[in-house]
Amino acid sequence: MFFIPGAILTFILFLLFLPFLFALGYLNIIVIGFEALGISSRATLIILTSILVGSLINIPLTKKKMFLVQESRFFGFFKSQKMAVHCLAVNLGGAIIPCLLSFYFLFVAQTKGFDLKPIFIATLLMTILSKVFSKVVPGKGIVLPFFIPPVFSAILALILAPGYVAFCAFISGVLGTLIGADILNIWKIRNFQGYLSIGGAGVFDGIFLVGIMSVLISGLLV
C-alpha cells in the first residue's frame, strides 16, 4: 500500500488552492481600494458583477454596415470571402459604467471638500500620456501598454493629491485613458473594417481595468 506523507499532501493541497487564495487576496485589495472611495464591500461586489455582465453589452454609435472580407490561406494559394460588420460602439461594462463611477467619485470628492484642481490636472496629464503612448495597430485597434495608465495615475495621485489618492487615481486613470487613448484616436480608425467597441476587449483598452488597477495600487498604499 502506498502512503503519501502528510507534509507532501499539505503542499499539494496548497498548490491546488493557490489560485483561489490569490483570487481572494486580489478581491480583498479591490475591496480595500473601493472602501477608500467610500464604497462598501457589498456595493463593490455589485459593481464588479455589473461590470462583468455589462462587458457583454455593446451599444452601437453608428449604423452597422455589412461588407465582404477576403481571406488568404495556405500562403495565399486559397482565398475565401466572408461577411463582416463595420460599426463603432461603446461597451457598457468597459466604458460607460466606469465613466459614471468617475463622475460619481468626482461629485463625492467635491462634497467632501477636496480640491478638484489636482484631479483635473492629473486627468489632463494622463490624457497626454495615453495619447503619446497609444498607437493604432491594424486588425487590433488602439493599443496602449497595460502598465502605463494604472502606474502613472497612481503616481500622479500620490504627488498631486496625497490626501485622496484613490479618488484621483481612479478618475484620472479612467477618464484620462478613455480620452487620450480612445477618443482622440477615433479619427484614425474610422476607416477600419470590423466591429470597434470603446472599452471592449480585443479592440480598445478595457477602461475599467485601468480603474481597477488604479484602485488596487491605491489600496496597497492605504
**In-domain check, residue 135:** yes
Most confident of 34-38, 96-100, 180-184: 96-100
**In-domain check, residue 137:** yes
- C-alpha gyration radius of the chain: 21
**In-domain check, residue 45:** yes
Q: Is the pTM of this model over 0.95?
A: no
**In-domain check, residue 73:** yes
**In-domain check, residue 77:** yes
Q: Kindly report the CA angle at 46 between 43 and 48, in degrees rounded to 5?
A: 110
At position 24, the amino acid (one-letter code) is: L
95 or 72: which leads in pLDDT: 95
Q: List, as one string, the DSSP characters of 27-95.
A: HHHHHHHHHTTT--HHHHHHHHHHHHHHTT-EEESS--EEEEEEEEETTTTEEEEEEEEEEEEEEIIII
- Residues 178-207: tens digit of each pLDDT: 898 888 887 776 666 666 778 776 545 557
**In-domain check, residue 1:** no
Q: How far is CA 21 from the centre of its chain?
A: 23
Note down the domain range covering 151: 6-221
Contact assessment for residue 166 and residue 56, using Cβ atoms and an 8 Å cutoff: no
**In-domain check, residue 61:** yes
- Residues 121-169: tens digit of each pLDDT: 999 999 999 999 888 776 566 778 877 888 888 889 989 998 888 899 8
Model pLDDT, residue 136: 74
What does the alpha-carbon distance between residue 145 and residue 155 come to, in Å, rounded to a whole number? 16
Q: Among all chains, which residue has been given the C-alpha cell 491546488? A: 16
Domain count across the chain: 1
